[in-house]
Amino acid sequence: MHTPVLLQETVDALEIQPGGKYIDATYGLGGHSSAILERGGIVLALDWDSDSLARQKINNQSLTVINGNYADIKDLAQKHHFVPCQGIVFDLGLSMEQIRLSGRGFSYEKGDEPLDMRISSDLELTAAKIINSYTIEQLYEIFARNAEELNSRTIAQAINRSRHVSPIQTVNDLINSISTVTKNKSAIARIFQALRMEVNNELENIKKGLEGAMAILVPGGRIAIISFHPTEDRVIKQFIRQHDLKTLKKPITATDPQSFERSAKLRIIIKN
């Protein structure tokens, strides 16, 4: 069983009540669900990636796992009689297994994979369609907004030059295009992040997910949300300010400075 980053802190913050109803909005490898079940909670788990869902098996009568997007959390919770619930967890990162096994080009280290990046196969827009059809200005806006990449315009222009020679279809095609202006791996990783967020409409889904979560929580119920990028965390902070929500004073961060997950930030929102 994979142990999610900040697992102990997340489950502690939810203050699990035996027999209470909890929603794991990002089931993944089942780490959060398992920890909640161990403390006596009843869990409704959501995963948008049907392929990932098919690989995970936890046999427990107190667990219901369904294929669904957390943007629809309110409707899904109502359908499965999980309203109201005591707590909800969102882990916004992709699992290493998704990156390793999906074959969808999530990582710049998987050079032969197609530029797909869809978490759900029901989506029509792929990363390749964005890269090959969006204008330079549209690409610049995606890279600047989703990844805060300083070289966004230069990279967008490089992509435009490359696609006029031949379509950009694979991870290596995109890396080769970006590498004409920068070989910085962090910059390349940010471009991949920005594309994935655009393909899956991730920032808007976070907003919808938080709106739905607040609607189905009991008063005093808690949302634990783990983000991995400043852009995601900014959306969360804006939501908190706009709705004047109560939170634990400071976000919780990973303590291991060597961990690749050191950027993880856990915020706890408490319904008034």
Parallel, antiparallel or unpaired: strands 246-247 and 265-270: antiparallel
Candidates 30, 43, 27; CA nearest to 1 is: 30
pLDDT in tens, the chain (272 residues): 467 899 999 999 999 999 999 999 999 889 999 999 999 999 999 999 988 776 767 789 999 999 999 999 999 999 999 999 999 999 998 877 777 788 999 999 999 999 999 999 999 999 999 999 999 999 999 999 999 999 999 999 999 999 999 999 999 999 999 999 999 999 999 999 999 999 999 999 999 999 999 999 999 999 999 999 999 999 999 999 999 999 987 899 976 544 445 589 999 999 98
Q: Which CATH superfamily is domain 7-97+203-270 in?
A: Vaccinia Virus protein VP39 (3.40.50.150)
pLDDT of residue 257: 47
Candidates 231, 213, 202; CA nearest to 268 is: 213
Contact 140, 152 (CB under 8 A): yes
pLDDT of residue 218: 98
Q: CATH 3.40.50.150: which residues of the chain? A: 7-97+203-270
Contact 38, 62 (CB under 8 A): no
pLDDT of residue 209: 98
Burial profile 130-153: b = 16 or more Cβ within 10 angstroms, e = fewer: bbbebeeeebbbbbbebbebebbb
pLDDT of residue 261: 57
Beta bridge partners of residue 42, listed in sequence order: 21
CA dihedral 45, 263, 253, 26 (to 10 degrees): 0
Q: CATH 1.10.150.170: which residues of the chain? A: 124-199
Tally Cβ neighbours within 10 Å of residue 217: 22
0.85 exceeded by pTM? yes
Beta bridge partners of residue 224, listed in sequence order: 89, 268
Pick the CATH number of 124-199 from 1.10.10.1400, 2.130.10.10, 1.10.150.170, 1.10.1610.10: 1.10.150.170
Burial label, 55 (beta-carbon count in 10 A; 0-12, 13-18, 19+):
exposed
